């Protein structure tokens, strides 16, 4: 999908962070937008900001874990614009618990948003795109989907699952001769409030982080905001990847020669688990 001007993009998790960065990048390329998020107040703030900058944008409160809610998002987008050309399944976030601390409810909560949110989006929007004869589905995974770092085991599993779903979908569509494009984004350090959100998510489950965990989280959050990539730049990278038809979209290409290459070289060479 090379020419995106006037095309319609639907973005989940769009009230902030990478989702809002994609929205700004897409608006700069004259795309029409449908933003979805479960946080209604932040969603409307994002819509107002984009509208004031001249973007054509609609905000739709959406719970990506709920299939009817995502179906309603698709219906609303079609009623507003009559087409959907690009879907960015972006909603998600981590939970800071080790393997032995994670509860069954934690697994369900994190997988519901990060993995089943992607699956629900595919089920709602792929038939629309196939009926149109054009479209592209992108999903936000993470470096954590390729290299598992502690202590976010549920997030690592979910983001690995996102890659598996998207790669399977891409191969199925290719074998069927479908014109629908597929891509997966694997960002690393981005200047968002994801760590703060992560700690809030943990507390909502009844888990009270230790002082060491809080200190580490504060340091990590400061590092992201001080040294992480601007979410708007991530948005531009995603759009460029979609335009070029790439499946893998890396915001930090230096990591290909870092932990990603180290992991797969060790896998092939001697089956060891490398340090990073």
**Residue 81 annotated to the active site:** no
The verdict on residue 257 lying in a domain is yes
CATH of the domain at 256: 3.40.50.720
**What is the secondary structure of 5-20 as a DSSP string?**
TT-EEEEES-SSHHHH
Give the start-end residues of each E strand in the chain. Answer: 8-12, 32-37, 57-61, 86-89, 136-140, 181-185, 248-249
For the chain, the domain total comes to 1
Q: Could you give the C-alpha distances from 166 to 111, 177, 201, 209, 225, in angstroms and in order?
A: 15, 16, 26, 33, 29
Domain extent for 225: 8-267
The verdict on residue 160 lying in a domain is yes
The verdict on residue 273 lying in a domain is no
> In terms of C-beta density within 10 A (0-12 exposed, 13-18 middle, 19 or more buried), how is residue 257 classed?
exposed
The verdict on residue 276 lying in a domain is no
The verdict on residue 3 lying in a domain is no
The verdict on residue 222 lying in a domain is yes
Cis peptide leading into 170, omega within 30 of 0?
A: no
Q: What is the pLDDT of residues 112-147, one digit of tens each?
A: 999 999 999 999 999 999 999 999 999 999 988 999
Average pLDDT over residues 30-57: 97
Higher pLDDT, 152 or 67: 67
Q: What percent of the chain has pLDDT over 70?
A: 86
Give me the pLDDT at residue 101, please: 87
Please tell me which residue in 155, 173, 198, 202 is annotated as part of the active site.
155
The verdict on residue 1 lying in a domain is no
* pTM of structure: 0.89
Higher pLDDT, 269 or 198: 269
Q: What is the pLDDT of residues 190-246, one digit of tens each?
A: 655 555 555 554 555 565 655 555 555 444 444 434 456 889 999 999 999 999 999
Q: Band of the pLDDT at 259, cuts 50, 70, 90?
A: confident
Give me the pLDDT at residue 190, please: 61
The verdict on residue 275 lying in a domain is no
């Amino acid at each position: 999908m090379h020419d995106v001007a006037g095309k319609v993009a639907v973005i989940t998790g769009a009230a902030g962070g990478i989702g809002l960065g994609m929205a700004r990048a897409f608006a700069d390329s004259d795309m029409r937008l449908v933003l979805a998020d479960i946080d209604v107040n932040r969603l409307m703030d994002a819509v107002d900001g984009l509208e004031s900058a001249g973007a054509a944008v609609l905000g739709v409160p959406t719970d990506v874990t709920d299939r009817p809610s995502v179906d309603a998002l698709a219906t609303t987008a079609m009623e507003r614009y009559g087409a959907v050309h690009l879907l960015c399944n972006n909603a998600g976030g981590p939970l800071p618990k080790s393997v032995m601390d994670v509860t069954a409810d934690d697994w369900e909560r994190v997988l519901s948003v990060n993995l089943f949110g992607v699956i629900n989006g595919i089920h709602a929007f792929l038939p629309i795109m196939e009926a149109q004869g054009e479209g592209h589905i992108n999903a936000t995974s993470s470096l954590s989907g390729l290299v598992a770092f502690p202590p976010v085991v549920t997030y690592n599993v979910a983001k690995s699952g996102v890659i598996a779903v998207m790669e399977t979908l891409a191969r199925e569509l290719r074998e069927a001769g479908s014109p629908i494009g597929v891509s997966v984004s694997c960002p690393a350090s981005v200047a968002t409030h994801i760590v703060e959100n992560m700690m809030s998510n943990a507390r909502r489950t009844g888990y009270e982080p230790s002082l060491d965990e809080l200190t580490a989280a504060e340091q990590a959050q400061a590092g992201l905001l001080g040294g992480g990539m601007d979410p708007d730049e991530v948005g531009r990278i995603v759009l460029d990847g979609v335009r070029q038809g790439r499946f893998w979209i890396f915001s930090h290409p230096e990591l290909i020669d870092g932990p990603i290459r180290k992991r797969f070289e060790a896998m092939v060479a001697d089956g060891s688990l490398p340090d990073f």
